[in-house]
Structure 1
Amino acid sequence: MKIIGIDLAGKRDNPTGICVLNLRKAIRGNIDLCTLYSDEEILEKVNSVNPYLIVVDAPLSLPKGRCCLEKDCECSVGGHFRQSEREIRIYGSVLPLTFRGMKMLTMRGVGLARVLSDQYLLKETHPRTAQKILGFENLKKDLGNYFHFNIDPNEHELDATVAALTGFFYVNNCYLELGDANEGTIILPEGKKCLKMLIYED
């Protein structure tokens, strides 16, 4: 069983971090990291891995009642946030989906979700909040306590690793799910206790 974590960039010219976590081999170091750019590269990678679960750091749906995020559209009365963003505020602030950078990221995430959701189990997460819940202060160092990186990871690959790790906790029923299932939810680790599941064989 494989999980892919994706730290999606809003612009296709910017780096998207990818982490592949294989759950069948409980051996320290069993993650593969890479950086990709275009939607075609991402989809090719996903299809080559054929994962059980994909967890993405990007909004994968629009607020209820909205068909887009343009301010001059009639749907703009639908608001700037989904229920999941309102609920996640107990952990920290999040940007409205209608902010320029977030709008670009959201529409890219929604587009990829339309393609991927027909074939794969797809979930959304927020690595910064997951990191806070897990008590990670230095991602490279803290994740290095559990994984051996196949490359020297950049920040996007580290966020993708947090996304994949959140997927691991989801599969093992140690997660929170925020928001309205009909609108789009965000999954997070249930707490630091989830880390006890990361027991590896030498």
Structure 2
Amino acid sequence: MVIFAGLDPAGTEKRPTGLAIIKNNIFIFIGKLYRDNEIIDKILFYKPVVLAIDSPLSYSKGYREVDLLMKKLGYKVLPPGWRSMQILIHRSLRIKSILEKRGVKVIETHPLSALKSSGCKTLDELLAKLNIKLETKNLSKDEKDAVIASLVAKFYYENKSYMVKAKDGIIHLLPKICS
């Protein structure tokens, strides 16, 4: 069976990073991790084919063209040029490099925009529409974003993700799910 992962990384190991792993429409892991090695070890333990990460995967002095396109489409993204974003990008690219060497495809997403592109108002509505049950109810924002990111990874694998594409990047979102 194919496994997918979603990661909502914090800029530093001092803050929680959300991770969600889904297999057969069942979440087999949702949690918060801190250190890079525990994040990488947990992901490699489950062996997902695709990881969608809530982070820009390229540097820029301000906004990238893909970010400007996202803003034009009504999605609220932060500029990768901000110092705090640069720290996040550096960490995300390091994780991406290690995982891709181990056979995991890593793609960029933006969970808040992915939820919006799905047409669903809440994560609960999105999951209900996809007929996916969550055992855990009190998820943190990081965990919720990781859950959405894992769904983006699944739709990407199925060639159904909605792509916002420019010469400097691709951000994968969810297709229309709720009407």
Q: TM-score range by the shorter chain?
A: 0.7 to 0.9
**Structure 2 CA distance for aligned equivalents of residues 16 and 37 of structure 1:** 6
**Structure 1 CA distance for aligned equivalents of residues 50 and 132 of structure 2:** 19
**Structure 1 CA distance for aligned equivalents of residues 107 and 21 of structure 2:** 15
Letter in 2 for 1:127: P
SS of residue paired to 1:61: coil
What does residue 77 of structure 2 align with?
94
Contact 2:118 2:126 in 1 (8 A): no
Root-mean-square deviation over aligned CA pairs: 2.1
What does residue 163 of structure 2 align with?
177
Alignment pair present for 1:81 and 2:63: yes
Runs of 4+ aligned residues of structure 1 deviating over 3 Å after TM superposition are none
Q: Identity rate of aligned residues, in percent?
A: 28
Letter in 1 for 2:88: L
Contact 2:59 2:81 in 1 (8 A): no
Contact 2:76 2:113 in 1 (8 A): no
**Structure 2 CA distance for aligned equivalents of residues 143 and 35 of structure 1:** 22
What does residue 75 of structure 1 align with?
none
What does residue 139 of structure 2 align with?
153
Q: Deviations over 1:103-149 (max 9, x none)?
A: 2211211222222222211101000101111123232x324523332
Contact 1:85 1:179 in 2 (8 A): no
The 3 A distance-change label for structure 1 pair 132 and 171 is: same
TM-score (normalizing by structure 1)? 0.77
Residue 136 of structure 1, aligned match among 120, 127, 145: 120
TM-score (normalizing by structure 2)? 0.86
Unaligned runs of 5+ in 2: none
**Structure 2 CA distance for aligned equivalents of residues 144 and 131 of structure 1:** 11
Q: Which has the larger radius of gyration?
A: 1
